[in-house]
A and B are shown apart, each in its own frame.
Chain A
Amino acid sequence: MLTLILILLPLLVAIGLFFIKNERWARNLALAAALIESGISIAALYTYFNFCHCQLLFRFEWLANYGISLKFGMDGLSMLMTLLTNFLVPVVIYSSFTQKVERASSFYSLIILMQAGLIGVFTAFDGMMFYIFWELTLIPAYFIAAYWGGENRIRITLKFFAYTFSGSLLMLVAIIYLYFHTPLPHSFDHIWLYASNLNPAEQVWVFLAFFLAFAIKIPIFPFHTWQPDTYVTAPYSGSMLLGGLMSKMGLFGMIRWMIPITYPVLNRTDGFFIIFPLIGIVYASLIAIRQDDLKRFVAYTSIAHLGLVAAGAMALNAQAMQGAMIQMVSHGINIVGLFIIIQYIESRTKTTSIAELQGIALKAPRLAVLFMIILLGSIALPLTNGFVGEFLILLGLFKYYWLYAAVAGLTVIFSVVYMLWMYQRVMLGNTNTVTESFTDLSWKEMIPLIAIVIMIFWIGIAPGMFMHLAENGVRQIIGVVR
């Protein structure tokens, strides 16, 4: 039941928000709803650990004739992703309070709607439900970027929409195709889909459809070109939702659906598909070095980091997959942190160009420290969140094929190169005309960043709870693969 509440509450709130005229009220209600949602997921976590270790399953036969049921539940993976979602959404909403948002009620309504969609994606145990919620998230993402975005928003968001939408249509075809190959009576239930009976050629087609859909969403090289433009043009809250959470849908889809169903293809192709994210790591890292726009910079670093996660997910061993799960959480937290900081910088200086900024640390030591900590998380320094996942992924990749780990490991070097150089140019040195009147963060502005920093150290120093949650799901999936 908790699972259902987690989905329904934001759906209802999203509708309610549309009708609230007072914008202050709307945003406060949105934040309150998001916080209540967080509270509920903590209750779910508590139940999970202390009472049942069960999956908090909600199941309702909907279109029984077609084997479609409303089946939602929480295993470790869902729990982890739900917690991430319900941690980040309030942070995203709160950090937007310092900005002026027009048509606030629609804006926050869409964010909450996005939250509902995300929870649906992460908790669906029915293929059709997974698809429906998958598409549901695209709608708010599209409108947030298209209405509240910056330059060229119509063209860019259209590309984003068309690109990701065509990917997900392929996925729909694959799911329906799988359905017809499930044991009788056909069903979209995940257990049925896992048990579908495909010959090797069919497996390849289904795999490719899933892979494309997820590769576009994450995105994986070379299907990533919609992403930098979209991150740049979307409003900050939109970029945070896209980079922090929507990208995780693709990775989650890989782990929950693609790998258990079509892992024989990954085995037969002998790691061929891991090469794409590996190229992406090097390629995007190299490009990130010279980017001048901070948001575009973050976009490219994100392609590199997510490439590592995708490679880990596809290495088909427990360590790499475990690392991938942890790294999804860490990346979500860190990228939102980075976007919040860029948002603060832009709201003070009216620019996101690295070349125009300089010496901010002199004026804003608080910002400088928080920025540095998030940056350390991103470069995976031990005792920060980035290290745990990256270490496990690389360890697992090494087990799979040492050369892959060596190539993926280049991120250890590249991340320092691009991150420190960016930090040096933006934060260090002497101030210039743009930054000389830069004011340090207020306490109010620091709250979301402090929350993020706490998570960075929590996962980095004592990842036990997160490891436990991930392990529970990873073991099942690796069990299927074996």
Chain B
Amino acid sequence: MTILITLIPLLPLLGFIILGLGYRSIPKHIASIIGPGSILISFILSVIVLLNFRFSPFAFRFFDWISFGNLSISFDFLIDPLSILMMLIITGVGFIIHVYSVGYMSHDEGFNRFFAYMNLFIFFMLILVMAANYAVMFIGWEGVGLCSYLLIGFWFKNQQFNNAAKKAFIMNRIGDLGFLLGMFLIYKTFRSFNYVTIFDLAKTMSPGSGAITAITLLLFVGAVGKSAQIPLYTWLPDAMAGPTPVSALIHAATMVTAGVYMVARSGVLYVLAPETMEIMGITAMATMLLAAAIAVFQNDIKKVLAYSTISQLGYMFVALSVGAFTAAMFHLMTHAFFKALLFLGAGSVIHALEGEQDIRKMGGLKNAMPKTFWTFLIGTLAIAGIPPLSGFFSKDEILANVFSSSQPMWIIAVAVTMLTAFYMFRLIFFTFFGSYRGNGHPQFSNIHESPAMMTIPLMILAFLAFAGGFLNIPELMGGSRVLKEFLAPVFADAVKLNQIPHMPVPERREWFNIALVLFLVLLMAFRAFRKFGDLKPDDGNRISGIGARSIFGKLAENKFYVDELYDAVFVKPVLKVSGALHEFIEVKFIDRIVNGTGTLVVRFSNIIRYLQAGHVGAYMFFMIIGILLILFFNIIL
């Protein structure tokens, strides 16, 4: 069994190595078997692991990594319900996206390189979730950052894309430093990096202790970077520079969920740090609101989805911040389904429109590409939370948990749900309804549905986005909570230790909340329909943006100028300081002192003159001879 489990991450690595070494010699049709194939086998193995799992987590050692003295960091894997769930999502959704990519990237000259990077990404992501200690988790944590860099900057001829790639890596690294320091404090406090050891010790500590608060805060900084929360979220919208399947895989379905996974994994620590939970809650609320507001005013199909991702991640962190770990993981899963679906659908549209991403130049595509339309519609309904699609159940679970802990938080979460419905329906009306506004670029009659290689993955994902929620139907509706029971052992300790008060909510009130939220969502959908339901090319005002009219709209359309702010506060000053340090401190100060001292010495000594006048060659030669003679004579004599 352990060999099979080890193969799960190693196969994608092998795929990477083969495709990487043969990036010029391996023909495309073979690469398109190796790339997705390695992930498919990993997925099948993950399913086998699931079927053989007997409800007792187990860890095993792959090899010894860094160890000396009493420090031992070994490459350990932990198999428990949480890691199995993540493995299934990563390899399952990952495989579907790989298959889609075969179609999407078929004309790209970097085909092999693309699949090499994608496989490497899956490898690191699997390491991240399968690790049994924080150090190995960090390998995956940094590794996905690297792959994200490689894939965002995949078309590296374009320096704009390269800037986006670099930005992603740097922002991730800022978070990584927090993660690293958190790890060091963990080691100092618990003398170990192993989850089991740490959590067992932590359970005995009193809530709110300084060390645990600091640890959780530092780890959360890491999560903020990876999962694109305020203030480190600006890399994610830019990350859309990469090919669209990359956006689906990395920036929606998997990598950005790493932060959520990490916090859930460290649940025991987090529930013992109420202050951290509070900070996390506030950060998450601010993030989801801000991102949803920006999404409403974006006109790039991928940008809307990108901000939507940030917002939905905020949703998951809100759940975590009240200790609703299962709810967060549930939403993580359903989000992986419908967000991957939406991105791939967007990719299909972009593919058909020869690269056009501006929704103002789309419209009326529902008849031209019906498969893409219907699947996209399912994704939209799912993310908007329309029953019985998956998003309805996962959002409801979060909302119910939030409601019982903090009603102000609940109100904000509901507001975000409304915004989500609005911008998603806006997106779908702009793209698929009304009449075509592309101005002949390309000709409407030339727009065709994407090939089966791309639409079949869309259909599979649509099915998952539709039915994924049935895994966890709340008791309220008389459902079985498969997922909750599956994950229960992982979160048992965290739930027991949770400090956040939960008020019992009467059943009637719960039903009322559900109905209210549903009503508001439908209202927003209707509003979007009224505004954008039937756009024509000459509807200038409505098309050019609702933003133009209000100050808020203008700010949101320009993403509240946060990028410009960072540029002015961090990037430009650092560049200035860099130049100034070199010019003034280095050359004109330190070096001048050194040279001054030197000159002074030269004036008062003859050493230098002696050196310059001497015959250097001879000097050197005699020196060696001398040393050798000394050595020899002393050994022989």
Contacts and interface: CB of A to CB of B under 8 A. Distances in A.
Given A287-B586, A382-B143, A429-B159, A318 B177 contact: no
A362 B139 contact: no
A322 interface: yes
A388 B586 CA distance: 31
Contacts, number: 161
Interface stretch (A179-187, A441-449, A462-470): A462-470
Interface string B576-601: 01110110011000110011001001
A469 to B, nearest CB: 10
Nearest to B587: A225
Contact of A359 (B157, B577, B594): B157
A424 interface: yes
Interface stretch (B50-58, B166-174, B423-431): B166-174
Contact of B157 (A70, A291, A430, A467): A430
A416 B169 contact: yes
A467 B598 contact: no
Contacts of B180: 391, 394, 409, 412
B26 interface: no
B68 A290 contact: no
Interface stretch (A155-163, A262-270, A346-354): A155-163
How many chain A residues sit at the interface, stated as a range, is 35 or more
A205 interface: no
B350 interface: no
Contacts of A14: 624
A376 interface: yes
A12 interface: yes
Given A132-B627, A136-B623, A290-B579, A412 B173 contact: yes
A365 B20 CA distance: 11
A395 B63 contact: no
Interface stretch (B34-42, B181-189, B263-271, B332-340): B181-189
Most chain B CB inside 10 Å of its own CB: which residue of A287, A288, A410 = A287
Contacts of B627: 11, 132, 136
A405 B187 CA distance: 14
Interface stretch (B305-313, B484-492, B545-553, B628-636): B628-636
B226 to A, nearest CB: 14
Contacts of B181: 398, 402, 405-406, 409
B634 A60 contact: yes
Contact of A421 (B23, B166, B582): B166
Interface of B: 20, 23-24, 63-69, 71, 135, 138-139, 142-143, 146, 149, 153, 156-159, 162-163, 166, 169-170, 173-174, 176-177, 180-181, 184-185, 187-188, 574-575, 577-579, 581-582, 585-586, 590-591, 594-595, 598, 601, 608, 616, 620-621, 623-625, 627-628, 630-631, 634-635
18 contacts: A18-B621, A283-B581, A283-B585, A398-B187, A399-B184, A399-B188, A402-B181, A402-B185, A409-B180, A409-B181, A412-B173, A412-B180, A413-B170, A428-B157, A462-B65, A464-B67, A467-B67, A470-B68
Q: Which 6 A-B pairs have the closest CB atoms?
A: A398-B184, A290-B578, A382-B139, A225-B591, A428-B156, A471-B68
Interface of A: 4, 8, 11-12, 14-15, 18, 60, 62, 70, 113, 132, 136, 139-140, 143, 158-159, 162-163, 166, 222, 225-226, 283, 286-291, 318-319, 322, 359, 361-362, 365, 369, 376, 381-383, 388, 391-392, 394-395, 398-399, 402, 405-406, 409-410, 412-413, 416-417, 420-421, 424, 427-430, 461-464, 467-468, 470-471, 475
